[in-house]
Amino acid sequence: MANIAGKVPGRFLGYAFCVGDLLLELDKDYKVLNADGAVKSTLGITPDQSFCFLDLLTEKGAGIITSAAKTLTGANRLGPFMVSVGGEGAVRERYSIFMSKLPHAPDELYIVLSKPYRLGQKESSNVSSTVSPAQLEENKAEFFERLEDLFEGNPEAEDNMQVTVIEAGEGERLDTGQQRDLENYLKSFSVGGSHAAMLANDKFAFVHERKEGSEKVDYVETIKKATGVALEAATINAADANLSEKDSMRALAFSLQQFADGSDGFDVSEIAAKSDELIGGTAERVRAFRKVLDEGAFSLVYQPIVNLKSNDVHHYEALARFDLPEMISSQWEMIRFAEDVGLILEFDKAVLYRTIRKIRELGNVGETPSIAVNISGRSLSDTEFKLDLVATLKGNKDLKRYLSIEITESAKISDLDSLGEVLSEIRNEGFRVYLDDFGAGASGFQYLKKLQIDALKIDGDYVRNATESKEDRAFLRSMVTLCRDLGIVTVGEWVETKEHAELLRSMGVDFGQGYYFGKPNAGLVMPKAKAS
Ligand code: C2E
Ligand code: MG
Ligand code: MG
């Protein structure tokens, strides 16, 4: 039997046999030059005959190997690909195949074949159960983290790298085996072999080098040939966004997120046709919000929160106002976008500092107002932000009676325990914590168990419907009872009419906020109800 140990560096052999059953050295026409392992009994070939490796494969397998070989550079290693291998007279068996080239022999191809169980994989690729949503979330989080690291550690990444998104063609449905194979396949194409992931069922993304002209790889064709799966793909250029490195990365991540979520206009065919427009649109919004941040181009308006028993203003809520770019229709939408794109942390900090200044300024010339600031649950899931916030509050402890925090968008926070910890820290410093929009989205009673808060703001939708709907009234009543038992103050949002106010009062809700008492206003005005 031919032995390649003399030609191939021993170190490579050692690595290869850690996972491999067979090791083959092929020439550029896939002829077997050398082989090691139980070649005769497993592959049914005699190694000294001149044999084309592709003859041992199915058409699909040959497609995988030849198209993957085209992308081997000597610096990357490809695989594992699941391929059936076997010569005439031998039973075809599925193997995991790794491929590489070695610097000393650029025309030769080294192939390691392993039984899938050695890699902890199942023999069959036809596993029909679907990938769990938790696993997909993990995939996504890991992909975005790596993407961020890639861009952060490499100032040229934006110009040199591209992200291609891939979706199964219309009517195609991949089983988990195919999904895994495709993910592995994309990983092997990707920068460093790890920048690829399935972001949603049958939707993938991978980061690769930008190649132009004849060097350009037609990934769809290559992958289709390799896997037999019809795909659609589109390549997104972060550089087209013309933003700072970090903001391009944000625009890119946002677009990918939209693609994964199946948002309108972000399926592959749309991305392909409108890639520049979509990322350009995202970039424009990022740019508009960046301006808000860098130039402090926002103002605050204040809306009173009124004690329903005494009709006195208890405190005000600070609400942000800024110029909206054309494609955004409300402040709310812009804030949600800032959350999705990761810019809300900077904004929340800016609003907090400005509010502290406002309280001090007014306190110096008259009565000190009490103001609640909105802080996004997203911001509070960032460690640095939390440290900064607690330090700021500690440094302004003398304002603890005048400054409070409203936690918005907490429904999107999965780690309630760590949110609970920071809320406790804030309260330990003596500042009050309100939980905003309770009852909206997925926020529910487990929040009250896990989060120590001073007050709950009941989502405006419940208040609005309560006058007509028995169910909403029942919900409100049970919430009020529960809060009273827990020692939590309740605030009803969107009190637009006298009926709303009276209903809430009769149910025992403590405070009300809404147009009936006063619209958000640049000045800290006394409420209508008090004045009349
Ligand atoms: P929110 O914190 O729940 O604020 C209450 C929203 O309800 C405000 O909308 C307010 O104008 C509106 N509102 C008040 N009374 C009534 C009423 O009687 N009827 C109706 N229909 N609406 C009423 P706005 O100012 O557009 O803010 C929307 C959301 O944007 C806020 O909801 C909050 O989640 C977010 N937001 C605003 N400013 C900031 C901020 O500085 N930081 C953060 N993180 N989020 C903010
Ligand atoms: Mg609020
Ligand atoms: Mg609210």
For 218-247, what is each residue's pLDDT tens digit? Answer: 777 877 777 777 888 888 776 666 666 677
Residue 317 has pLDDT above 50, yes or no: yes
Residue owning the nearest CA to atom 14 of ligand 1: 514
Which residue from 457, 363, 458, 450 is spatially nearest to 403, judged by alpha carbons?
363
Ligand index nearest the alpha carbon of residue 514: 1
Closest ligand 1 atom to residue 379 Cα is: 44
- At 367, the pLDDT band (50, 70, 90 cuts) reads confident
CA distance 282 to 45: 57
Closest ligand 1 atom to residue 495 Cα is: 18
Supply 446's token pair: 């487990």
Give mean pLDDT, residues 266-286. 75
- Classify residue 457 by burial, with Cβ atoms within 10 Å: 0-12, 13-18, 19+: buried
Q: What is the pTM of this model?
A: 0.71
User: Is the CB–ligand 1 distance for residue 436 below 6 Å?
Assistant: yes
Residue 527 has pLDDT above 80, yes or no: no
For 183-209, what is each residue's pLDDT tens digit? Answer: 888 887 788 777 899 999 889 999 888
User: Is the CB–ligand 1 distance for residue 348 below 6 Å?
Assistant: yes
Residue owning the nearest CA to atom 41 of ligand 1: 320
CA distance 410 to 406: 10
pLDDT at 320: 96
pLDDT at 10: 62
With a pLDDT cut of 90, the percent of the chain lying above it is 33
Residue owning the nearest CA to atom 25 of ligand 1: 319
CA distance 80 to 113: 9
Residue owning the nearest CA to atom 21 of ligand 1: 494
- At 421, the pLDDT band (50, 70, 90 cuts) reads very high
Give mean pLDDT, residues 396-423. 90
CB 438 within 8 A of CB 479: yes
User: Is the CB–ligand 1 distance for residue 339 below 6 Å?
Assistant: no
Instruction: Please list, in sequence order, all residues whose beta carbon lies within 8 angstroms of the beta carbon of residue 57, skipping any fewer than 6 positions away.
Output: 65, 83, 84, 85
- At 505, the pLDDT band (50, 70, 90 cuts) reads very high
Residue 97 CA to ligand 3 center (angstroms) comes to 55
Residue owning the nearest CA to atom 24 of ligand 1: 332
Q: What is the CATH number of domain 2-119?
A: 3.30.450.20
User: Is the CB–ligand 1 distance for residue 514 below 6 Å?
Assistant: yes
Name the residue with higher pLDDT: 42 or 343.
343
User: Is the CB–ligand 1 distance for residue 351 below 6 Å?
Assistant: yes
3-class DSSP assignment, residue 124: coil
CB 103 within 8 A of CB 75: no
Name the residue with higher pLDDT: 70 or 393.
393
Ligand index nearest the alpha carbon of residue 345: 1
Residue 125 has pLDDT above 60, yes or no: no
Residue 457 CA to ligand 2 center (angstroms) comes to 8
CB 357 within 8 A of CB 271: no
Give mean pLDDT, residues 321-346. 88
Residue 423 has pLDDT above 90, yes or no: yes
pLDDT at 525: 56
- At 510, the pLDDT band (50, 70, 90 cuts) reads very high
Alpha helix stretches (DSSP H) within 295-381: 331-341, 344-365
Ligand index nearest the alpha carbon of residue 409: 1
CATH fold of 296-512, please? TIM Barrel (3.20.20)
The four Cα atoms 490, 431, 383, 319 give a dihedral, to 10 degrees, of 60
- At 250, the pLDDT band (50, 70, 90 cuts) reads confident
pLDDT at 329: 85
Residue 270 has pLDDT above 60, yes or no: yes
Q: Lowest-pLDDT range, 287-296, 313-322, 423-432?
A: 287-296
Q: In a mutational test of the pocket of ligand 1, which residue from 292, 319, 337, 463 has the highest number of ligand atoms less than 8 Å from its CB?
A: 319
Ligand index nearest the alpha carbon of residue 459: 3
Residue 164 CA to ligand 1 center (angstroms) comes to 37
Residue 444 CA to ligand 3 center (angstroms) comes to 15
Determine phi and psi for 299, rounding to 5 degrees: -125, 170
Domain ranges of the chain: 2-119, 133-287, 296-512
Ligand index nearest the alpha carbon of residue 434: 2
Residue 96 CA to ligand 3 center (angstroms) comes to 54
Give mean pLDDT, residues 245-263. 81
Closest ligand 1 atom to residue 409 Cα is: 34
Ligand index nearest the alpha carbon of residue 331: 1
Residue owning the nearest CA to atom 4 of ligand 1: 319
Determine phi and psi for 211, rounding to 5 degrees: -125, 140
Most confident of 209-213, 303-307, 405-409: 303-307
CA distance 358 to 315: 14
Give mean pLDDT, residues 475-497. 94
Residue 530 CA to ligand 1 center (angstroms) comes to 22
Most confident of 77-81, 134-138, 367-371, 384-388: 384-388
User: Is the CB–ligand 1 distance for residue 179 below 6 Å?
Assistant: no
Closest ligand 1 atom to residue 330 Cα is: 26
Instruction: Report the 10 Å Cβ neighbour count for 36.
Output: 20
Residue 434 has pLDDT above 50, yes or no: yes
With a pLDDT cut of 70, the percent of the chain lying above it is 87
pLDDT at 482: 92
User: Is the CB–ligand 1 distance for residue 445 below 6 Å?
Assistant: no
User: Is the CB–ligand 1 distance for residue 410 below 6 Å?
Assistant: no
Ligand index nearest the alpha carbon of residue 302: 1
Residue 321 CA to ligand 1 center (angstroms) comes to 10
User: Is the CB–ligand 1 distance for residue 335 below 6 Å?
Assistant: yes
Q: Lowest-pLDDT range, 141-150, 233-242, 300-309, 408-417?
A: 233-242
Instruction: Report the 10 Å Cβ neighbour count for 43.
Output: 25
Task: Give Rg (Cα) of the chain.
Answer: 30
Q: In a mutational test of the pocket of ligand 1, which residue from 341, 381, 406, 408 has the highest number of ligand atoms less than 8 Å from its CB?
A: 408
Residue 437 CA to ligand 3 center (angstroms) comes to 4
For 71-100, what is each residue's pLDDT tens digit? Answer: 777 666 777 777 888 877 667 788 888 888
- Classify residue 28 by burial, with Cβ atoms within 10 Å: 0-12, 13-18, 19+: exposed
Name the residue with higher pLDDT: 107 or 406.
406
CB 207 within 8 A of CB 190: yes
pLDDT at 359: 95
Task: Write down the mean pLDDT value for the chain.
Answer: 83
CB 178 within 8 A of CB 229: yes
pLDDT at 190: 84
Q: Lowest-pLDDT range, 8-17, 154-163, 436-445, 465-474?
A: 8-17
Instruction: Report the 10 Å Cβ neighbour count for 259.
Output: 26
CB 162 within 8 A of CB 239: no
pLDDT at 6: 44
Q: Lowest-pLDDT range, 226-235, 268-277, 378-387?
A: 268-277
Residue 404 has pLDDT above 90, yes or no: yes
User: Is the CB–ligand 1 distance for residue 42 below 6 Å?
Assistant: no
Give mean pLDDT, residues 242-259. 78
